[in-house]
Amino acid sequence: MARRLNLEDSGFDAAFDALLTMKREVSQDVADVVAEIIADVQARGDAALIDYTKKFDRLDLGQAGLAVTAGEIDAAMGKVDAETLDALKLAHDRIQSHHARQMPKDDFYEDALGVGLGSRWTAIEAVGLYVPGGLASYPSSVLMNAVPAQVAGVERIVMAVPCPDGELNPLVLVAAKLAGVSEIYRIGGAQAVAALAFGTETIAPVAKIVGPGNAYVAAAKKQVFGTVGIDMIAGPSEVLVLADENNNADWIAADLLAQAEHDAAAQSILITDRAEFADAVEAAVENQLKTLSRAGIAGASWRDYGATIIVPGFADAMPLVNRLAPEHLELAVDDPDALLPLVRNAGAIFIGRHTPEVIGDYVGGSNHVLPTARSARFSSGLSVLDYVKRSSVLRLDADQLAKLGPAAVALAKAEGLDAHARSVAIRMNR
Amino acid sequence: MARRLNLEDSGFDAAFDALLTMKREVSQDVADVVAEIIADVQARGDAALIDYTKKFDRLDLGQAGLAVTAGEIDAAMGKVDAETLDALKLAHDRIQSHHARQMPKDDFYEDALGVGLGSRWTAIEAVGLYVPGGLASYPSSVLMNAVPAQVAGVERIVMAVPCPDGELNPLVLVAAKLAGVSEIYRIGGAQAVAALAFGTETIAPVAKIVGPGNAYVAAAKKQVFGTVGIDMIAGPSEVLVLADENNNADWIAADLLAQAEHDAAAQSILITDRAEFADAVEAAVENQLKTLSRAGIAGASWRDYGATIIVPGFADAMPLVNRLAPEHLELAVDDPDALLPLVRNAGAIFIGRHTPEVIGDYVGGSNHVLPTARSARFSSGLSVLDYVKRSSVLRLDADQLAKLGPAAVALAKAEGLDAHARSVAIRMNR
């Protein structure tokens, strides 16, 4: 049973603070091992990849080949049933058309002085996409990471996916093909991250690495940051459901469990204005757990990290929502539009009783890579913006330099930077 | 004398690779000391800040006060001469009006199925701005970091600035006032970063920390990342100047030295199509060094990291530009507009002979916080986007759920996530 909090109880503040600061991840210190692997891949290239893959994935890349071939990808297409393939295509197309709207526009203009200013956006040239192997090898995740890169115009989208015992999920290959992935390598762990960052004989280096992974992958991404860009380091998934008593308790329970089944460290929280409705949802959770394939994981998550919070009214809930800054927020109330403007911190918002968060995981069109662990206070979900960068552009002629130069010289002198002052003044003395 | 490379020499590739991979920073390992300081500030709050400030800055905060008062800020206004104050105001206003154009717009729409999708941008609620103390305490840097936050609508902009021996640059206070900084604390180092991230009795925590600092500040920012957001970790500054022989060699030399005077680890590179022009610039650099107040720093930078590169024509230079991915790029050639579309990787681009990079440092209006160390391959200069975040919004009714639901269920089942499938299916069976 999840913990119960009530905003009107005297102990609420302490209990809510405890919920906010709860550590849900045991951080493994693998930095030293990872540093060794990275140095070895830098020194020995492909040979190191072959050795680590034999050791960690029990796969002989000398036989299997480092790169997945076009023939293998075509064969994977044949292994996927028509319904799943259609669903993947629908997801791809919806993600693509939504993300196309995110493409930033160049902006060039002249100001009142005649100074030319501009912002020029260009795609990153090459991106590495890490895809976990085995059970956590999700085709939806391939789409969510690769399609925004495809939309941005990234020329090389390079996938690394470990194949434990040689196994590779055909759905992952199909998703990669749909999303325009240009190269796929059968490598994982810190060695894959090192290969993407520094390159080997076979793999040309990329400029940025994205995608989820285990503690070794996360540590490796942190260590190569600077040499390449990285995306956020994702924590366990979370949902916060605001629901009134007019909901079907079973629907809400299903949403809480959908999040909980991801990971024993996932977190599902219900905020409602009726204790009786919270009771009903809790009962529905227990009931549904009986028939769930991942009941062990989902049950542990709900027991250890789940919560129901009772508030007098939903307006009272909004400060709690913003402090929790959830990855996913469902507004399953009569008038969600009254609450929406009050949401300040949330990765993704799901409006109304017929928008379960799971739609956003797959086919809504928005991205499912979202800020966890309260980082929605300062960061956003994955988007096309993560695959482009902006150069600012400035253009003056002698006239504009004459107008702006004296102020630049004054500030340079005030900062004690004489060469700065000279670089402007020398152009004004003619 | 800086090194000379020629694209047509047989050894060019190796020499250029060496230039690309040159390490300009000795990274100090201060992680353990910083971790101790952070833990201490978390445990003891203000008392720890007082102790560290006494130790590192020789300042008694018990007497001086942790917060800078409104009276002190007004007094600082009186200490700044009119010319400098006007220059700061001009810089502020130009930065503000340029950055106002960067504000992203919300986007809500219904697709062909009637699904509501949206992107909703909100400002980060509170941001910490670290400002180095002593000599490197630049008012222009305060403007560049704080004005985009002001434009974004950040409610709390909290500045931390160390005051060694109690000294505080009045220009920094004036810049802070212009830029709408709401609170200023007399603290620095890892202890300031910890206070901003976790809060103390006096200082409420922020959600993101930006601004340059020494090795301790950089290490502290890395360690608190996750609890709060951070900006990029900036390396030594760089300029790449493309200049033909129709330039005044003195102007170009002045630009190279303006960058070099920042730091002995700064880097200035000239690419030109005439060896004779490179000779002339080199001679001008040596000549100007004789009369430069920071000749020691600038000379060391030019000698150790400077370079001139000779190319047959400027079209040949563009692949080199994009591999170098410079923080600052000057296009001082007859037809810069012919080269501009070929620039893929650069933090900021300065067009023509009358746009020295220094204009962008102060009064151009664009930001001077830019990606260093080749990170323009994957990242952008500071902008309003660094102070806002996006929530995605999704809205379905029963009709749209009926249309998208089956694909979501198919994908959830293919991924082995039964609770996901149930959360959608349970809403379709009614």
SS (H, E, C) chain B: CCEEEECCCCCHHHHHHHHHHCCCCCCCCCHHHHHHHHHHHHHHCHHHHHHHHHHHHCCCHHHHCCECCHHHHHHHHHHCCHHHHHHHHHHHHHHHHHHHCCCCCCEEEECCCCCEEEEEEEECCEEEEECCCHHHCCHHHHHHHHHHHHHHCCCEEEEECCCHHHCCCHHHHHHHHHCCCCEEECCCHHHHHHHHHHCCCCCCCCCEEECCCCHHHHHHHHHHECCEEECCCCCCCEEEEEECCCCCHHHHHHHHHHHHCCCCCCEEEEEECCHHHHHHHHHHHHHHHCCCCCHHHHHHHHHHHCEEEECCCHHHHHHHHHHHCCCEEEEECCCHHHHHHHCCCCCEEEECCCCCHHHHHHCCCCCCCCCCCCHHHCCCCCCHHHHEEEEEEEECCHHHHHHHHHHHHHHHHHCCCHHHHHHHHHHHCC
Q: Taking a contact as any Cβ pair under 8 Å apart, which residues of chain B between 12 and 51 contact chain A?
A: none
Reported as a single tens digit per residue, the pLDDT across A300-325 is 999 999 999 999 999 999 999 999 99
For position B274, which CATH number holds? Answer: 3.40.50.1980
Contact B54, B357 (CB under 8 A): no
| Token representation of residue A376 | 């929605």
**Dist. CA A342–CA A381, nearest whole Å:** 19
B310 CA: distance to closest CA in chain A (Å): 23
Reported as a single tens digit per residue, the pLDDT across A384-404 is 999 999 999 999 999 999 999
Same domain, yes or no: A136 and A278: no
- Res. A136: pLDDT tops 80: no
Specify the pLDDT at position B286: 98
**Arithmetic mean of pLDDT, A177-201:** 97
Same domain, yes or no: A161 and A187: yes
For position B419, which CATH number holds? Answer: 1.20.5.1300
Specify the pLDDT at position B234: 82
**Dist. CA A228–CA A209, nearest whole Å:** 7
Q: Which residue, among A296, A236, A224, A230, has the nearest Cα to A265 in the 3D structure?
A: A236
Same domain, yes or no: A186 and A334: no
Same domain, yes or no: A130 and A217: yes
> Per the annotation, does B354 bind a ligand?
no
Question: Chains A and B: how many Cβ contacts under 8 Å?
Answer: 363
* B91/A233 touch (CB, cutoff 8 Å), yes or no: no
Give contacts of A252 with chain B, Cβ < 8 Å.
Answer: none
- Res. B233: pLDDT tops 90: no
Q: Could you give the number of structural domains in chain B?
A: 3
Residue B371 lies in a domain: no
Same domain, yes or no: B207 and B127: yes
Contact B199, B229 (CB under 8 A): no
B62 CA: distance to closest CA in chain A (Å): 30
Specify the pLDDT at position B272: 98
Give me the residue from B97, B125, B255 closest to A423, CB to CB.
B255
Alpha carbons within 13 angstroms on the beta-carbon side of residue B300 total: 10
Residue B388 lies in a domain: no
> Per the annotation, does B415 bind a ligand?
yes
Residue A380 lies in a domain: no
Strands A388-395 and A116-123: antiparallel
- Res. B209: pLDDT tops 90: yes
Residue B385 lies in a domain: no
Q: Which residue, among B123, B125, B141, has the nearest Cα to B133 in the 3D structure?
A: B141
CA separation, residue B223 to residues A22, A47, A301, B35, B38 (Å)? 18, 34, 27, 7, 9
Residue type, B339: L
Specify the pLDDT at position A430: 53
Same domain, yes or no: A400 and A292: no
Question: Which has more confidence, A232 or B403?
Answer: B403
Give contacts of A397 with chain B, Cβ < 8 Å.
Answer: 352, 354
Average pLDDT over chain A, rounded to whole? 96
Pick the catalytic residue from A92, A99, A328, A368.
Answer: A328
- Res. B366: pLDDT tops 60: yes
A65 CA: distance to closest CA in chain B (Å): 26
B318 inside 8 A of chain A by CB: no
Minimal-distance CA residue of chain A relative to B255: A423
**Arithmetic mean of pLDDT, B264-276:** 97
What percent of chain B is modeled with pLDDT above 90?
94
**Dist. CA B320–CA B307, nearest whole Å:** 13
Domain boundary among B230, B258, B284: B230
Contact A187, A200 (CB under 8 A): no
Does B328 qualify as catalytic in the annotation? Answer: yes
Specify the pLDDT at position B238: 96
Domain boundary among B207, B230, B253: B230
Give contacts of A347 with chain B, Cβ < 8 Å.
Answer: 391-392
User: How sure is the predictor about B166, in pLDDT bands with cuts at 50, 70 and 90?
Assistant: very high
Give contacts of A343 with chain B, Cβ < 8 Å.
Answer: 120, 391
**Arithmetic mean of pLDDT, A259-272:** 96
Reported as a single tens digit per residue, the pLDDT across B37-60 is 999 999 999 999 999 999 999 999
Same domain, yes or no: B208 and B316: no
Reported as a single tens digit per residue, the pLDDT across A58-112 is 999 999 999 999 999 999 999 999 999 999 999 999 999 999 999 999 999 999 9
Domain boundary among A183, A204, A230: A230
Domain that holds residue A102: 31-230
Specify the pLDDT at position B25: 76
Residue A9 lies in a domain: yes
**Arithmetic mean of pLDDT, B393-397:** 98
- Res. B430: pLDDT tops 60: no
**Arithmetic mean of pLDDT, B19-32:** 84
**Dist. CA B282–CA B299, nearest whole Å:** 12
Residue B214 lies in a domain: yes
Residue B50 lies in a domain: yes
**Arithmetic mean of pLDDT, B137-148:** 96
**Dist. CA B68–CA A236, nearest whole Å:** 40
Please report the ipTM that was assigned to this predicted complex: 0.96
Q: Taking a contact as any Cβ pair under 8 Å apart, which residues of chain B between 103 and 132 contact chain A?
A: 107, 109, 111, 115-117, 119-120, 122, 124-125
> Per the annotation, does B214 bind a ligand?
yes
Same domain, yes or no: B343 and B267: yes
Question: Which has more confidence, B414 or B137?
Answer: B414
Same domain, yes or no: A202 and A118: yes
A405 inside 8 A of chain B by CB: yes
A255 inside 8 A of chain B by CB: yes
Give me the residue from B288, B390, B423 closest to A381, CB to CB.
B390
* B226/A352 touch (CB, cutoff 8 Å), yes or no: no
Specify the pLDDT at position B171: 96
Residue A376 lies in a domain: no
User: How sure is the predictor about B378, in pLDDT bands with cuts at 50, 70 and 90?
Assistant: very high
Strands A238-243 and A229-230: unpaired
Contact A196, A188 (CB under 8 A): no
**Dist. CA B127–CA B7, nearest whole Å:** 46
User: How sure is the predictor about A418, in pLDDT bands with cuts at 50, 70 and 90?
Assistant: very high
Same domain, yes or no: B302 and B411: no
Give contacts of A115 with chain B, Cβ < 8 Å.
Answer: 364-365
Pick among B323, B354, B374, B429 to test the A interface (most A CBs inside 10 A): B354
Residue with tokens 């009530």: A6
Does B201 qualify as catalytic in the annotation? Answer: no
Give me the residue from B359, B391, B400 closest to A394, CB to CB.
B359
Same domain, yes or no: A62 and A171: yes
What percent of chain B is modeled with pLDDT above 70?
99
Give contacts of A90 with chain B, Cβ < 8 Å.
Answer: 404, 407
Specify the pLDDT at position A307: 97
* Phi, psi for B95 (deg, rounded to 5): -65, -45
Specify the pLDDT at position A29: 82
Contact A237, A268 (CB under 8 A): no
Residue with tokens 């280096």: A205
A174 CA: distance to closest CA in chain B (Å): 13
User: How sure is the predictor about B134, in pLDDT bands with cuts at 50, 70 and 90?
Assistant: confident
**Dist. CA B61–CA B46, nearest whole Å:** 10
CA separation, residue B126 to residues A399, B204, B274 (Å)? 40, 9, 52
**Dist. CA A311–CA B141, nearest whole Å:** 45
Specify the pLDDT at position B24: 81
A58 inside 8 A of chain B by CB: no
Pick the catalytic residue from A327, A330, A357, A368.
Answer: A327
**Arithmetic mean of pLDDT, A166-187:** 96
| Token representation of residue B339 | 């080269």
Same domain, yes or no: B127 and B267: no
